[in-house]
Chain A
Amino acid sequence: MRRPAWRWHDLRVVVLGLAFAAAWAGIGVRIYQVQAVDAARFAQRGFDQRVRHEVIPAPRGTIYARDGVELAISVAGADLVADPSIVDDAEEVASLLDPLLELDAAEIVERLEGDGRYARLARGLEPDAVEELEALIDGRELLGLTLVPRAVRVYPSGPLAAQVVGLTRLDTGAGIEGLEASLDDVLAGQDGRRIVERDPGGRVIPQGRLLVDPAVPGADVVTTLDRRIQYAAEQAISAAVERTGANWGTVVVLDPDTGEVLAMASAPGFDPNDRDALDPDAVVNRAVAEVYEPGSTLKVVTIAAALEEGLVAPSTELEVPQRIVIEPKEYTDPSDHPSTMTVAEIVERSSNVGTILVQRMLGNERHYRYLDAFGLGRRAAIDFPGERSGHLEHVSAWCRSTCGPSAAIGYGVSVTPLQMAALYATIANDGEWVEPHVVAEIVEADGRRIVTEPRRRRVLAPETARLLRSMLERVVEGGTGTRARVEGFTVAGKTGTTEKYLPDEQTYSTEDRIASFVGMAPAGDPEIVVAVVLDSPKGVLEDGTELKYGGASAAPVFAEVALAVLNDLGIPPDRPGVDGDG
């Protein structure tokens, strides 16, 4: 029997079988390699591609006025960025974006034709603008433009209370001025983190959350500011700065009973929403950041101390010369006065010499004790960023001759406008000093409320404070502060005019003055204290009075603000003779 001969098709079958076997073996090896040998590595690569470690930004807290209206709030906005290498027709894109952005078309074209792959066209766009741009980009299928979402800080009332509220950085959102800076830790909250699995399209895979550590939203801050009073104060001080050509001006309105700052305005001001036009000088909160020698407004401390110590009474008569020499200085009174004056008349006429005579009866030690008790030389407020302490030399460092007399008339001591407001608020509050503050409460994200409790201390007896108020009332009725009168209300206050100290030259200006007025109304039971300070007002009134004097430039601002505040608070008129006939 013969073996059958090999046939070609048998060989092909064998070869094919071997090829299949080899292919399957290869697949098997690869499977073994992927599933066994390198399994851990591939699993990790897949995991790394899906899993994202993300930061959950904490929403920044809101800053409110006392009536619950937002002064600063964060909204979901965006930046508009472009990749110039992808943008097809820069000029066409620019013409479309021009009406929606602050940049003009030429600048947009310049940025879109620049080198590189990144050009920012707008930063911090608000939701309305984002919506319009989204519609434009999608509708016209504009390539190379991207809206990058981010929280945007908005100040709905613009310039209102801008120096108090402050600013945040445009890039990081951190506070850099005002309450935004001083309470940044409180407002910022705590970012959370999230580890999630996302598909290649960036969508979160359901049940793919591995860890979510939620963000803790920032706390809200409720201020003591009254928006209407703040607005009235800003309008009045801006007009005064414009009218008098002053370098700057500031107004502080305090509630003497509670120490609450109802308004704190400085001019020139700024709009925190408009960063391009931002003037760094306008950002300064002059009410706490400027120090000046208070001049005659500080005489009240000398008189208060002498009254409290029982050395004088308002009716005590003193021989007051027109000038007095205390080596090496000569102190004079600016206007003629009788040679004998009562203490009340000394205050009314703002006599330098008379006040110095009272200070000599008092002595430096006791004088200093009262200056210190009124809070001079240290920060007045709880929560103001950039607040300066002013300067009050310790009595042990006072010179024997002129330091006391100079301090009595408001020289050699520097204060902030807020300190002066707090000082007069002490007199208004029957002798009890209350720490001024602008934050009423902080409301944590969990609803916990931290209410500000201002410090209090008694400086004068109530009776002394009442006597002072009646003397200060005479200043407005017939003394240097008549322009501070408010129709229908009794007003007590004091004018101040000091030569401006020039730190660079270490001397006093011969021309520029710091003009001020600090007062309260109604005088009998004050509901408000208003301090007004103007730096270097110039000009002359129709009656020839120079505006450099506090009684001419600052007192009218007081009257304007006080009237607005008294009306706003619904304080009834207390001035006799106003009923019926107006």
Chain B
Amino acid sequence: MTARTAPYVPTSEAPAAVAVARVPRLRPLTVFTIAAVLALFAIVFARVSLDKSAFELQRIEQEIAVEQARLAELRVEVARLRDPARIERVATEMGLVFPDERIPLRVEGRPLQGTP
């Protein structure tokens, strides 16, 4: 009977079983799950942003409508203030009167132009 022995391998050449670091391997299912969760968050975020924008848009539209209504009111007020009947009434109250006599003056040597 002969004894079989393992071939001699110098210690320095032996494989370093302990030193090899293991790269973590992600399984496809995990990747898919993470992606799905991220996508879900993205969708929710987008949806919330859109909702916020929609609310903002609504608010701005209401503001525009209010301001437009205000503008129309102010235009009415200005037109009323510029009403000739009102101006005449106010002028009369202030004691203004139409001139009794019109005296157009002509400056010699100059052509007639402009308001007399």
Contact = CB atoms under 8 A, between A and B. Distances in A.
Contact of A156 (B76, B105, B106): B76
A92 interface: no
Contact of B54 (A207, A230, A488, A570): A207
A208 to B, nearest CB: 8
Most B CB within 10 A of own CB, among A71, A573, A574: A573
A126 B76 CA distance: 10
B102 to A, nearest CB: 6
B104 to A, nearest CB: 4
Contacts of B78: 69
Contact of B83 (A158, A204, A572, A580): A158
B116 A573 contact: yes
Interface in B12-48: none
A425 to B, nearest CB: 24
Interface in B64-116: 69, 72-73, 75-76, 78-80, 82-85, 88, 101-106, 112-116
Contacts of B106: 578-580
A227 B84 contact: yes
Given A73-B75, A207-B50, A573 B115 contact: no
B63 interface: no
A347 B37 CA distance: 101
A488 B115 contact: no
Interface residues of A, number: 34
A228 interface: yes
A206 B73 contact: no
Contacts of A154: 76
Contacts of A578: 104, 106
Contacts of B82: 69, 227
A157 B79 contact: yes
A345 to B, nearest CB: 31
Contact of A570 (B58, B83, B104, B115): B115
Contacts of A204: 58
B72 A75 contact: yes
B102 A488 contact: yes
Given A70-B79, A73-B75, A579-B105, A570 B55 contact: no
A156 B79 contact: yes
B85 A74 contact: no
A574 B112 contact: yes
Interface size class of B (residues with CB under 8 A): 20 to 34
A206 B102 contact: no
A74 B84 contact: no
| Among B85, B88, B112, residue most surrounded by chain A Cβ atoms (within 10 Å) | B85
Given A207-B54, A488-B116, A573-B116, A157 B83 contact: yes
Given A160-B83, A160-B84, A570-B114, A75 B104 contact: no
B85 A157 contact: yes
Interface in A98-133: 126-128
Given A231-B84, A573-B116, A582 B75 contact: no
A73 to B, nearest CB: 6
A160 B85 CA distance: 9
Nearest to A157: B83
B79 A127 contact: no
A127 B72 CA distance: 10
A76 interface: yes
A487 interface: yes
Interface string A231-247: 10000000000000000
Interface of A: 69-71, 73-76, 126-128, 154, 156-160, 204, 206-207, 227-228, 230-231, 487-488, 567, 570, 572-574, 578-580, 582
The 10 A-B pairs at the shortest CB distance, nearest first, are namely A206-B54, A156-B79, A579-B106, A231-B84, A570-B115, A572-B112, A582-B103, A76-B69, A70-B79, A573-B104
24 contacts: A69-B79, A73-B75, A75-B69, A75-B72, A127-B69, A128-B73, A156-B79, A158-B83, A160-B83, A206-B51, A206-B54, A206-B55, A227-B82, A231-B88, A487-B102, A567-B115, A570-B114, A572-B113, A572-B115, A573-B104, A578-B104, A578-B106, A579-B104, A580-B106
